[in-house]
Structure 1
Amino acid sequence: MTMEANELRVSESVPVDTGQRRGTRPMAPDDVAAVGRLFNRIFRRHDQASDDDLGRYLQTVFFGSPHYSPELGSVVHENGANGIDSAILSVPMAFMVNGRPTMARLLCAFMADGKAGAVGAARLARTMRAARQDMCFSDNASPVSADHWVAGGGIVLPIQSLEWQRSFLPLTAAAILAGRHFPIARSRVLVGVLRPIDRALRRLRPSMRPKTEGECRSEAARVEEFLQCASAMLERFAIRPAWSPAEFDWLVRVASMNRNLGTLQCRKVVLPDGRTIGAFLYFGKQDAAATVLNLVFEEGRERDVAAAMFAQLDAEGYAVAVGMAQPFLMNAISRQRWLSFRHRGYFCMVTRHADLKEAAERNDIYIGGLASETWSRLLTDF
């Protein structure tokens, strides 16, 4: 989400006689400990100080972007005597919108400390109204939060709110996916029992094995090669990440910290003559899941590239591959057998620019993966 410097309404602060600060203001590095504790209280249901790992991560993600400035960073509300009672954590991200550079804000977490933080939460929410934003988005909003986004002039992107899941070993995949909520389901003992059964089922049901289309093949690639492919292959979208080398390198570094999702890897899809027609960036966790962050391709080659990606991930031994649904990918991935969708959280956006809103509503947008919160450890580790 973008917020111009003069739109950061510190004037909404309420003066108090005690002389203590009170009201909305940019989050500062020395707020990390208090915000970390608030995060634990709201999202982890324990009122404990943040450990060093969480503190360092908050510092790196919310103050480390090449585009960071206080005006584009996170915002907190301070109630005076009791300190910070609500906060919005956000990361600035550069986009191109109909050819013009636009600084967006990725909203990562909105926290309010119960009734005590209600006033602060309301003040922070007012700063996110469409009339004040060039572009502000979140990819995992709750139903209640989505209603607030729409009430503030925003929109919900329904397809991007879905996650596709392609199972290669269905029983093992079910255990691994259930392990998101019930860790015991992905225990080595259970997965070890299910995997041989899946192998036997694959011999009986050849449709479980994905097939390539055409004569293209997948090759290992450096992460930097993905940026080269994306720069040319995303130009057709009215809304797309700008991804300068500095920003892309920073995003790769912070994404690579999420070891819970596995190792960040890149592959490209090439024709027999060596020409690259697509590339994909993904986390791979050995003997478990592949989490696809971004898939790019030449226009019209989505079926070839998607099929090559699924065949490669299957060959690498993953039980399941998951990724954010995208309108331009639906035809290609829906041809896969053993594929399903689940609601992953509402993808919401607000903007004061009519052309940006119209482009998003007609799905002329490339967003997600590194240009979203998929990579964040706040979703998987803490």
Structure 2
Amino acid sequence: MEAGRRGPTAGNRCDRLDRRNRAGGVPAGCLPARDRGGRDHRAESRLAGRNRAVRASEVPRQRLGSQRTAAPTRLTRGSLTDRAVEPRAGRLRPLRGEDLPDVVALRQQVFRFSERDSPDRLAHYLEQIFFRHPWADEELTSLVYEDERGRVAGFLGIIPRPLRFQGEPVRAAVATQLMVAPERRGLIGRRLMRTFLTGPQDLSLSDTANEVGRRLWESLGGSVSTIHSLAWSRTLRPCRHLAARIARGPVLRAGLYAARPVLAAADALAARLPRSFTQDVPPGAIEALDAGTMAARLPQLAGSALRPEYEDGSLTWLLAQAAEKRQFGELLGALVRDAAGEVAGWFLYYCHTGGGLGEVLQLAARRSTQALVLRHLWRDAWRRGLTAIAGRVEPAFVDELAAHGSRFGREGPWMLIHSPRVELLQAITGGDAFLSRLEGEWWLSF
């Protein structure tokens, strides 16, 4: 893969990849020196140079038969013309609407967990995410691998996302849900990912990768943003939080439930200690957060060279889809104003009604107001009964998170990045990018 090369369009790149495997796994756009129809491309090239053109029909048919199955010795550019005589081979192509039931069935083979309680609901969700999103781009479509029998045996979801770098538009794409049928595992997943990474986008992202996905990504020329692969957590009720982390299994969980009054009393006592876990009411106020305010205020609050391009309509759709993610509870958000009534920033996080751990989706604030936004977040989460709150590290907030007693660690998925533009990669790894969980795939709820 050439990292600096811009990829073909979706139609062309898939047409080129359709021809792969017809000559024993030959790369797209190439074929053997002697194809299966008997045409000797090397001979024609040599003879044409000597003005001695030879027609393929003049080659004895017996000789053609003896060489038809010979292993290719050299690859040349060309086009395949043997569709009618050779059995159908597997191919990569763009996802179509009629593929969704097959993708659902494939996902049920590959992944054990789904937030959707029926295949029909999952198919509807796939349609919303991959066909109804507001960033339609004909060159950035999801991909499927269709085997020789016409069945979907591989899939890679792709979601375009517009960004801005130093005020200029950036074409980004998020990869998600890479899956291959168990009996076809091998190079199919690699082909799907390579096709994605050599696409027309300026920046490729994936932020829920496991160790296997990370190794595949790096083997294809991608890299990891280590800082965005770290997580932070802030304890609000230490006794109950520690007990919840220790409790494993039904018996221990039952004991934890019975001990809740005692743990609550211990947390109340801990809140009275100096430099404790108490959550005083911070100055300013919070109010309802809406997409229009986020779109209008982000350029002033982010202060980063690379940031998402928000607009009211697309952000409304994005927040509605993020709200469907119920794995971590209800999605809550608030706009924070300082004591003078000026916008200080906002927070978005998931909150379980019964307490537990909250997960932050996005934080936004100017550097001078970060502490105020965090204090309002701690207070709101504590008021709703959470024992702790956590999130992915955003470089701009590291100092304030540390100052407020947050703990940092490498406990979650990897943040993967790839771009032919070095300045984009440097902005991300150097902490000059506003890329929250809302900009990747973390908010999806398959």
Q: Same fold (TM over 0.5)?
A: yes
Aligned residue number for residue 102 of structure 2: 34
Give the alignment of 1:224-235 within 5 angstroms: 224=291, 225-234=293-302
Extract unaligned runs of 5+ from structure 2. Answer: 1-5, 23-82
Q: Does 1:5 align with 2:9?
A: yes
Q: Which has the higher contact order (CA 8 A, sep 6+)?
A: 1
Distance 1:217 1:366 in 2: 25
Aligned residue number for residue 125 of structure 1: 193
TM-score by length of 2: 0.75
Q: Note the alpha carbon deviations across 1:337-366, whole angstroms, 9 max, x for none.
A: 364534211100011112111212211111
Corresponding residue to 1:196 among 257, 261, 266:
261
Contact 1:267 1:279 (8 Å CA) reproduced: yes
Question: Post-superposition shift, 1:184?
Answer: 4.8
Aligned residue number for residue 255 of structure 1: 322
Q: Note the alpha carbon deviations across 1:218-247, whole angstroms, 9 max, x for none.
A: 41313333343324212x211111022121
Give the alignment of 1:39-50 within 5 angstroms: 39-44=107-112
Q: Which amino acid aligns with 2:195?
A: T
Corresponding residue to 2:306 among 239, 253, 262:
239
Distance 1:86 1:370 in 2: 26
CA change 1:263–1:186 in 2 (3 A) is: farther
Once the two structures are overlaid, the 10-residue window that deviates more, 105-114 or 115-124, is: 115-124
SS of equivalent residue, structure 1 residue 127: helix
Indicate the RMSD between aligned Cα atoms, in angstroms: 2.9
Distance 1:176 1:34 in 2: 40
The percentage of aligned residue pairs carrying the same residue is 22
Q: Which amino acid aligns with 2:326?
A: R
Distance 1:320 1:108 in 2: 28
Q: Does 1:134 align with 2:240?
A: no
Contact 1:103 1:134 (8 Å CA) reproduced: yes
Structure with larger Rg: 2
Distance 1:275 1:297 in 2: 12
Q: Which amino acid aligns with 1:116?
A: R
SS of equivalent residue, structure 2 residue 327: helix
Corresponding residue to 2:331 among 264, 278, 289:
264
CA change 1:363–1:10 in 2 (3 A) is: farther
CA change 1:117–1:83 in 2 (3 A) is: farther
Q: Which amino acid aligns with 1:281?
A: L
Aligned residue number for residue 29 of structure 2: none
Q: Note the alpha carbon deviations across 1:270-306, whole angstroms, 9 max, x for none.
A: 2222112111112222122322111101133222221
Question: Post-superposition shift, 1:367?
Answer: 0.7
SS of equivalent residue, structure 1 residue 57: helix
Question: Post-superposition shift, 1:78?
Answer: 0.8
Distance 2:158 2:228 in 1: 19
Aligned residue number for residue 284 of structure 1: 351
Q: Note the alpha carbon deviations across 1:5-35, whole angstroms, 9 max, x for none.
A: 2663431113555775731111111111111
Question: Post-superposition shift, 1:57?
Answer: 1.2
Aligned residue number for residue 367 of structure 1: 435
Aligned residue number for residue 144 of structure 1: 212
CA change 1:338–1:326 in 2 (3 A) is: closer
Contact 1:154 1:350 (8 Å CA) reproduced: yes
SS of equivalent residue, structure 2 residue 385: coil
Contact 1:86 1:113 (8 Å CA) reproduced: yes
Contact 1:3 1:72 (8 Å CA) reproduced: no
Distance 2:8 2:255 in 1: 52
CA change 1:130–1:72 in 2 (3 A) is: closer
Distance 1:176 1:201 in 2: 14
Q: Which amino acid aligns with 1:196?
A: P
SS of equivalent residue, structure 1 residue 32: helix
